Structure 1
Amino acid sequence: MASSESKPYEGKWTALTVRKTFLDYFAERGHTIVPSSSVVPHNDPTLLFTNAGMNQFKPIFLGTVNKADKLASLKRAVDTQKCIRAGGKHNDLDDVGKDSYHHTFFEMLGNWSFGDYFKKEAISMTWELLTKVYGLDPQRLYVTYFEGNPAMGLEPDLEAKELWTSVGVPEDHILSGNMKDNFWEMGDQGPCGPCSEVHYDKVGGRNAAHLVNMDDPLVVEIWNNVFIQFDRQQDKSLKSLPSKHVDTGMGYERLVSALQDKQSNYATDVFTPLFARIQEVTGARLYTDKYGKDDVDGIDTAYRVVADHIRLLTFSMADGAVPNNEGRGYVVRRVLRRGSRYARKYFNAEIGSFFSKILPALVEQMGEQFPEIVKKQKDIAEILDEEEEAFAKTLDRGEKQFEKFVAELNKKGEKKLSGLQVWRLYDTYGFPEDLTKLMSEERGLEPTDESDISKAREEAREASKQVKDKAQSFPKLNVHQIAELENQYKISRPDSEPKYGKGDITASVQLIFTGEDFIKSSKDVPAETPLGLILDRTNFYAESGGQVADTGRILVDDDVAEFKVEDVQEYGGYIVHIGYFSHGSLSSGDKVICEYDELRRQPIRNNHTGTHILNHSLREVLGDDVNQKGSLVDEDKLRFDFSHKTGVTHDELRKIEDLSNAYIKQNAQIFYKDVDLDSAKQIEGVRAVFGETYPNPVRVVSVGIDVDMLLENPKNPEWRKVSVEFCGGTHVDQTGIIKDMVIVEENGIAKGIRRIVAFTGDSAHEVQRMAKEFNNRLQELEKLPFGAEKEEQVKRTGVELGQLTISVLEKEELRQSFAKIQKSVVDEQKKRQKAESKTALDTVTGHFAKAENKESNVFVGQLPIGANMKAISDVMTHFKSKDKTKSVYVFGGSKDTGVVHGVYVGTELASRGITAEKWSLTVAEVIGGKAGGKEPTRQGAGTQPEKLDEAVKTAEKWLADEMAKLKV
């Protein structure tokens, strides 16, 4: 219970002291300070991001929390939870920057009671903290309570109303609210209950009751107390929960705004340090907290968007949400692109390394409370730069194309982009749909119908899927066609040196290959037909040396034509870009832009350089008999086949992985040079694939030592300590970019040939996270008390461990840990089995041993054991072998957990015509299931355990009836 002696803080309220005061207040009142859970809910597929403070406590409310989980023992808790609302059901992205209180990333302060205190204590502490500790003016505060819903059988929450009155809230500041505002539900089913909100009037000196819950930016909800007291059933009815809970959430940014007496969250020191850094980086005018039409140049809006977005980007990436084209990864990517466009348009910032320059200010501001962003700062900065750089390539062209679309609309007198145009801006230029929507709003256009966008998207994807399948079997250039290119068309081999650089290039179309013939124009070729483009130069990597081909697009600016590249192959020095036209056509001589997918190539580079490092480490650890026998390098993994006569031990694997990662951590520069083949072969320790034919000159790739230095003294034995290979693939500039290497598979694929599969970069980090998470699960599983829940979890965990793709070494450690847990369960099962068998047998033999049962030859009844078929069987076996005259019908288990049953008909009853089959059949008709076995026994499991008592009585009655018939 709160203390009546609490006093307000006498200093100035800073964002840091606001958060600390909240946590300290509840900690002093018996609440455990719980760290924020990840903003990426890896174990909750129902959520895109953690969007509320209660997410990590859902298992407690649902009653599914593991008994060994540290949360299971919580009675009171307090936390500040990182939240993101930028996708899925909860999405505030469109509102960010436009008003003073919406954020895609925010903190939710919360205090929690799990079956401990309820409304009285929660309301009392809420009011005391706000008015006595934080010192907010009670006249500016308004509270709401649930008005009830007769149609759903819900009474008004008058208890909450009276409690607010008792702590001193004026009558005209207590308002009723409907189901939407004042009744909280986790979902269609499950825990729910009335809630009581606290709203704050930023103006003061008036009665603002009529503005509560009216979306007025100056009267905002700051805290919500949810009283979880019902359980919503499948039929929509409500049952009272046996334990009542309190779930509260207070908007941290809104609270800081109130305490600093600011009408905008963005005018507080939650954001001002970020604004200062943005101003420093861009040289823009100072932030003035203007909105709408008052923000004439749009720069204040841009400040808000950039500051908000760096928060979302940093915290999402720190918790594992890497930008990509799916799910939460796509949310991160589109937020970054949205922010990049704001930075370029309003701050004239150079895109490519903008957000990474703002990042240090955020880390300095919030790193103490959330150390994960300090730890991941370098990785986050690298990802931000990679993503910005990729988008920067198409941003200009995309905006130019958007303006072209707008001009076309103006000519027609129309005010809305088509779904196809919106989709094309995304598909060709990387503009997320919400960015196009934002640009359309700026130009006064009407929003495009979502159904039109969806239709264009689905049609494009369906066409793409069909043509991709055909592209996989696109014909190769044969020897006659190669000669035709040389002699008839006089086509020179293309310059492919640009593939080793970064960025787009321009090129000229030479010819178009249909798969059978060469043509000079695709004008008459049906859309989405697989074709091969032959250019005079290319930056696309053609599949070779184990490295997969690049994908991307070849296009004519101004959206005249777009050719999607699905594969790139080289035949006799000619490079064929295989793909299809999404629109438009090309002819020989046309100038085109070649745009490979940099975001796909980056992990390929990681994996290729990683392959070289792995090859070197294998020789260092396993010896000179290791030679490359094959490899595959794609965006997901590296796969390396090598000669080795014996299996690789785990100790050797650990050395290989450690040596590789030590090499990576050196951040060694990658050197490469075309060298005369004979001279290159002289370099000590150079690696090449046996039997491979190499060109002359050959490209030499060295990790850490300049190739010219190698050639000055090629026989220097020190060069054996360096990774040097003949290779025409693409590589990173520095090994540090690879970050980490994790070996996830090692096995034999043929006699004397082994295979290693490994992950690098973000993929390596993800499997490391998965391994750590699984290890935590095992620790919780080990603590779980023995019982049915633990047995079931052990079964499930064993299957999941087998399917887990993680480090080979970590997986072995997890297997060993799991094996100990599994053995303890098996041992306990055996112990319990033995004890239950003894209990079962003692119960029955004890019955016959009693003086009053001396003449009895029959026992029918439920035994004090679980649904243990072995114990039932042991009882039957005992009488069948040692006391054959007596008959038993025994039951184990309960109506809640399941039931097993078994019968043995002794010689005395059998001589009178009683059979186990008939007896068990009668019981099975009641309890469900079937009973099997050979006379004189039957046993089975009931499918309707709730009829256990009835089944026992039926067994007794059937025998009594049969015996009565025999007497007659």
Structure 2
Amino acid sequence: MTSKEIRQAFLDFFTSKQHEIVRSAPVIPADDPTLLFTNAGMNQFKDVFLGIGSRPYTRAADTQKCIRASGKHNDLEDVGRDTYHHTFFEMLGNWSFGDYYKKEAITWAWELLTDVWKLPKDRLYATVYKDDDEAFELWKSETDIAASHIQRHGEKDNFWEMGETGPCGPCSEIHIDLTPDKSGAALVNAGRPEVIEIWNLVFIQYNRDAAGKLHPLPAKHVDTGMGFERIAAVLQGKTSNYDSDVFTPILKKIGDITGKTYGGSMESDTDMAMRVLADHIRTLAFAIADGGTPSNEGRGYVLRRILRRGVRYARQLGQNEPTLYKLTEVLCETMGDVFPELVERRQVIEQVIKAEEESFLQTLDRGIEIFNGVTEKLKKSGGKVIDGADAFKLYDTYGFPLDLTRLMAEEIGLSVDEDGFLANMKEQKDRARKDRKEKSAVAEESGEWTIFAETLKTEFSGYETLEQKSRIARAKKAGEKLLLVLEKTPFYAESGGQQGDSGEIETDAFSFHISDTQKEGDLVLHIVDKITDKESGDAVAIENFDLEKLSSLEADAKVNAETRGATARNHTATHLLHEALREVLGEHVQQKGSLVGPERLRFDFSHFERVSEEAMAQIEQIVNAQIRMAKAVKKHADVPFEDAKKMGALAFFGDKYGDFVRVVEVPGYSVEFCGGTHLDNIGEIGLLKIVSESSIASGIRRVEAVTGKVAEDLFRSDRRKLQALRDTLSAQSEDAVLERVQKILEEKKELEKEVEKLRLELAASALDGLVKNAETLNGVKILAAEVKVSGADELKQLGEMARSKLGSGVLLLGAALGEKASLVAAVSDDVIKSHKLQAGKLVGEVAKVVKGGGGGRPNLATAGGKDPQKLSEAIEKFKEIVTAALA
């Protein structure tokens, strides 16, 4: 049977048992913050098992895409080392939601394996949880398995849990004995390839809470999982998953690319590397197809680790250029009919992987060089453990994940001080945290609050009004600022990328100018930078202000309407921009940060390459087309989280959501979770103009834009500048301006070439005199002089000319180029041979005098330095070295 036939036979069997065949859930779980990746078939049914959700069916079956490369279920370290662990795999499964239970699950599993697929019964073993007498007896009564082939095992092997918390219960596994003489009874659950688990029947009856306590579920369920890759290998008579037709097309493609042949050996480094690539491309392709992106945090970091691990193994196969992305084609050919998302998103998958490969390859060689230097030094000292600081340097500077360094160390008999690595990681995070804290005047203040009321949480009224009468609850001086807390406020505190409001808070006696609004827990902090005595009109120094004058005072809080409105324009525009980016670039685009203020907006998002000017123009056009439609903005408050998801609100891993959320909707276009302030109608934005697009980190891009009056002012300013340019160039149109500028640039380029040619001719003329006056020692000419040139390239050209004119000899030319020194040395071939003098070594030694370094070929080499004042000393040093060598 082919793997496709095996998969279909499984689904057909359970269709005959009245199961609904459901689609695989994405490997990127958008609505489960407890999971980085979908790691089991039951993930999409978790709400049913917990009793908080339901389905229109009580029996289901499917093939589920799974990734196990993080957390409790992590098979990454075993991939390639054995024949049956994978970071990505398919899980064939059948479920019962409060319908059938242990009896039917056991009976049908035995029927499919032995009656339909004809697996030999004497090679099958069943395991049950140590005290699950019910399952033990059912295996005896409902199947004809040999009683001696039913084994009891403990919690480690026969109690299934999806994660640290959640649905769980005892399980019954089915193992197959692949030993030649059927002697594998003692190898069941021993982690040996001779006897492997092929199916796990999980009987879900508990929910484990955060404290580890088990609670009975409202109804009992069945969740089974059969590793598709394993059963395909077994049914095809293979002892290795990689020998089945699930992997052989990928391995063949790897062989075509690398010129290697896969032999299936467990000892061969080549075969192991090929297995790793065959596994890792599946994980990367499916994750990216479902919206994942390599990055430096969360699931993105796991994907980056896997990809960089793959790049390193590709290097072992002799590949010095991007390789993994080339395997996407064969994956689409073999799995695209079952999982069409691979074909639909093939271009994105290839682009993301290729870009990541190119990025890591830029630092891989240097990282390997540093690693080799560390290990050579370690071996000389007799050490066996790579220092944590060195491992952290490889991670922080060269992008080597810890597990990659560990892997490379293990290959040469070394280990890594992982505690030291984590300590260095913590120090870096602590420093970053400290830096962030020091940037916030609010955060660094530790002074005591003066309490006027018992308010422990500020009530925010700013969605409905920009003015609010309230009472001052707390106050504190923070350096040159005064912090005020009101019982109720219309001021929006900085959050979710939106800057805090500014405005005024007034009492009968004082006016407090609010320059910013921040949060501290549940309190909203109004930051006062100026106090005015309303009676006298005089400014009051904050350091001299008596806080007791605030006691129980009523206050009138007024938000600056102009800046709030401008900020709202930019925030609503950000939502439109986000959707337009996803529409043009793809659904892999996810928000990675933002800044929304009255003057501009900044939006950071996941993307693997520079966004073309054409794409940016299209994005801008889409946003402005939406603005012209002038749709009313719907703001839904206190929406149950599940209801918000049903509305289509975007939910990304890592974002924190409560049970009730606020949703901002532009009907028919954008729906997002958002607690910020927004316009009532998108037409109020007026206009959006993108001003820049750039990279801020690997896989993260940034767009900056302006809206409304600021955008109008920008267009007006650009228009004035263009008109001034037209007048200066006497051009009749914008096209004429471009033509005229291009012509000027071409003329300038030609003139520069002519000037450079004349300068070089003058320098060459002066060179004749220097060559004529060169000293001679033992038949060898020595030329050392300082010359005037316009750049290092010109100096090198001059050095080559001098070497030609000099004939048999040694020369050094030096030049002061601004605040730097530049040197070129040359040695004729006969002198290299007769006196062992080499230009590279000479110039490197002399460059030390000018506080620099350099090198090159034996006959011509260059160097640079930071101290042009010492060029004359460098020239004398050169003469000394050469004279000593020729004496």
Q: Place the TM-score, normalised by the shorter chain, in its bin.
A: 0.5 to 0.7
For residues 827-838 of structure 1, the aligned pairs below 5 Å read none
- Counterpart-to-counterpart distance in 1, 2:296 and 2:168: 35
Query: Would you say the 8 A contact 2:289–2:345 is kept in 1?
Result: yes
For residues 78-117 of structure 1, the aligned pairs below 5 Å read 78-117=61-100
Aligned residues: 509
Q: 1:449: which partner in 2?
A: 417
Q: Does 1:38 align with 2:7?
A: no
Q: Does 1:435 align with 2:435?
A: no
| Deviation, structure 1 residue 113 | 0.7
Structure 1 unaligned runs (5+)? 1-12, 149-155, 474-598, 648-674, 689-693, 700-968
- Counterpart-to-counterpart distance in 2, 1:166 and 1:210: 24
| Deviation, structure 1 residue 288 | 1.0
Q: Quick one: which of 382, 385, 391 aligns to 2:351?
A: 382
| Deviation, structure 1 residue 614 | 5.7
For residues 247-326 of structure 1, the aligned pairs below 5 Å read 247-284=223-260, 286-291=261-266, 294-295=267-268, 298-326=269-297
| Deviation, structure 1 residue 145 | 1.5
| Deviation, structure 1 residue 407 | 1.3
| Deviation, structure 1 residue 450 | 2.3
- Counterpart-to-counterpart distance in 2, 1:234 and 1:679: 73
Change (3 A) 1:682 1:15: farther
- Counterpart secondary structure, 1:350: coil
Query: Would you say the 8 A contact 2:605–2:702 is kept in 1?
Result: no
- Counterpart-to-counterpart distance in 1, 2:730 and 2:440: 36
Query: Would you say the 8 A contact 2:293–2:606 is kept in 1?
Result: no
Query: Would you say the 8 A contact 2:295–2:301 is kept in 1?
Result: yes
Which shows bigger deviation, 225-234 or 14-23? 225-234
The normalised TM-score by structure 1 is: 0.49
Write out per-residue CA displacement over residues 371-419 of structure 1, whole angstroms, 9 at most, x where no aligned residue: 1111000011111111111111111111111100111112211111111
The one-letter code sitting in structure 2 at the alignment partner of 1:322 is T
Q: 2:15: which partner in 1?
A: 27
- Counterpart-to-counterpart distance in 2, 1:241 and 1:601: 39
Q: Quick one: which of 603, 607, 631 aligns to 2:691?
A: 631
Q: 2:179: which partner in 1?
A: 203
Q: 1:351: which partner in 2?
A: 321
Which shows bigger deviation, 173-182 or 216-225? 173-182
- Counterpart-to-counterpart distance in 2, 1:332 and 1:53: 20
- Counterpart-to-counterpart distance in 2, 1:24 and 1:411: 63
For residues 170-185 of structure 1, the aligned pairs below 5 Å read 170-185=146-161
Change (3 A) 1:678 1:270: farther
| Deviation, structure 1 residue 460 | 2.9
The one-letter code sitting in structure 1 at the alignment partner of 2:10 is F
- Counterpart-to-counterpart distance in 2, 1:328 and 1:64: 26
| Deviation, structure 1 residue 462 | 3.5
Q: 2:123: which partner in 1?
A: 140
For residues 756-795 of structure 1, the aligned pairs below 5 Å read none
Query: Would you say the 8 A contact 2:623–2:688 is kept in 1?
Result: no
Q: 1:916: which partner in 2?
A: none
Q: 1:14: which partner in 2?
A: 2
Query: Would you say the 8 A contact 1:53–1:81 is kept in 2?
Result: yes
| Deviation, structure 1 residue 432 | 1.1
Query: Would you say the 8 A contact 2:273–2:314 is kept in 1?
Result: yes
Q: Does 1:127 align with 2:97?
A: no
Q: 1:412: which partner in 2?
A: 381
Write out per-residue CA displacement over residues 47-90 of structure 1, whole angstroms, 9 at most, x where no aligned residue: 0111111111100000111x5xxxx2221000111111111222
- Counterpart-to-counterpart distance in 2, 1:685 and 1:432: 52
For residues 647-686 of structure 1, the aligned pairs below 5 Å read 684=734
- Counterpart secondary structure, 1:606: coil
Query: Would you say the 8 A contact 2:136–2:150 is kept in 1?
Result: no
| Deviation, structure 1 residue 185 | 3.8
The one-letter code sitting in structure 1 at the alignment partner of 2:106 is I
Change (3 A) 1:464 1:28: same
Q: Does 1:327 align with 2:298?
A: yes
Query: Would you say the 8 A contact 1:50–1:82 is kept in 2?
Result: yes
Q: Quick one: which of 172, 195, 198 aligns to 1:222?
A: 198
Query: Would you say the 8 A contact 2:51–2:217 is kept in 1?
Result: no
- Counterpart-to-counterpart distance in 2, 1:601 and 1:144: 45
- Counterpart-to-counterpart distance in 1, 2:623 and 2:182: 77
Q: Does 1:62 align with 2:82?
A: no
Change (3 A) 1:430 1:164: same
Change (3 A) 1:411 1:169: same
- Counterpart-to-counterpart distance in 1, 2:730 and 2:76: 56
- Counterpart-to-counterpart distance in 2, 1:175 and 1:611: 63
The one-letter code sitting in structure 2 at the alignment partner of 1:290 is S
Query: Would you say the 8 A contact 1:604–1:634 is kept in 2?
Result: no
Change (3 A) 1:677 1:643: farther
Q: 1:567: which partner in 2?
A: none
Q: 1:342: which partner in 2?
A: 313
Write out per-residue CA displacement over residues 809-837 of structure 1, whole angstroms, 9 at most, x where no aligned residue: xxxxxxxxxxxxxxxxxxxxxxxxxxxxx
Query: Would you say the 8 A contact 1:157–1:194 is kept in 2?
Result: no
For residues 399-548 of structure 1, the aligned pairs below 5 Å read 399-446=368-415, 448-463=416-431
- Counterpart-to-counterpart distance in 2, 1:360 and 1:37: 23
Query: Would you say the 8 A contact 1:140–1:204 is kept in 2?
Result: no
The one-letter code sitting in structure 1 at the alignment partner of 2:315 is R
For residues 925-940 of structure 1, the aligned pairs below 5 Å read none
| Deviation, structure 1 residue 606 | 1.7
| Deviation, structure 1 residue 678 | 5.6
- Counterpart-to-counterpart distance in 2, 1:63 and 1:601: 35
- Counterpart-to-counterpart distance in 2, 1:92 and 1:181: 16
- Counterpart secondary structure, 1:19: helix
The one-letter code sitting in structure 1 at the alignment partner of 2:417 is D
Write out per-residue CA displacement over residues 825-881 of structure 1, whole angstroms, 9 at most, x where no aligned residue: xxxxxxxxxxxxxxxxxxxxxxxxxxxxxxxxxxxxxxxxxxxxxxxxxxxxxxxxx
Query: Would you say the 8 A contact 2:135–2:172 is kept in 1?
Result: no
Change (3 A) 1:456 1:120: same
Q: 1:815: which partner in 2?
A: none
Write out per-residue CA displacement over residues 896-919 of structure 1, whole angstroms, 9 at most, x where no aligned residue: xxxxxxxxxxxxxxxxxxxxxxxx
Tell me the percent identity: 45
- Counterpart secondary structure, 1:200: strand
- Counterpart-to-counterpart distance in 1, 2:356 and 2:348: 12
The one-letter code sitting in structure 1 at the alignment partner of 2:78 is D
Q: Quick one: which of 381, 391, 394 aligns to 2:363?
A: 394
For residues 814-963 of structure 1, the aligned pairs below 5 Å read none
The one-letter code sitting in structure 2 at the alignment partner of 1:313 is L
Query: Would you say the 8 A contact 2:62–2:92 is kept in 1?
Result: yes
Write out per-residue CA displacement over residues 785-818 of structure 1, whole angstroms, 9 at most, x where no aligned residue: xxxxxxxxxxxxxxxxxxxxxxxxxxxxxxxxxx
Structure 2 unaligned runs (5+)? 442-603, 629-685, 696-700, 713-724, 747-887
- Counterpart-to-counterpart distance in 2, 1:185 and 1:322: 27
- Counterpart secondary structure, 2:339: coil
The normalised TM-score by structure 2 is: 0.53
RMSD between superposed Cα atoms in Å: 3.7
The one-letter code sitting in structure 2 at the alignment partner of 1:141 is L
Query: Would you say the 8 A contact 2:624–2:688 is kept in 1?
Result: no
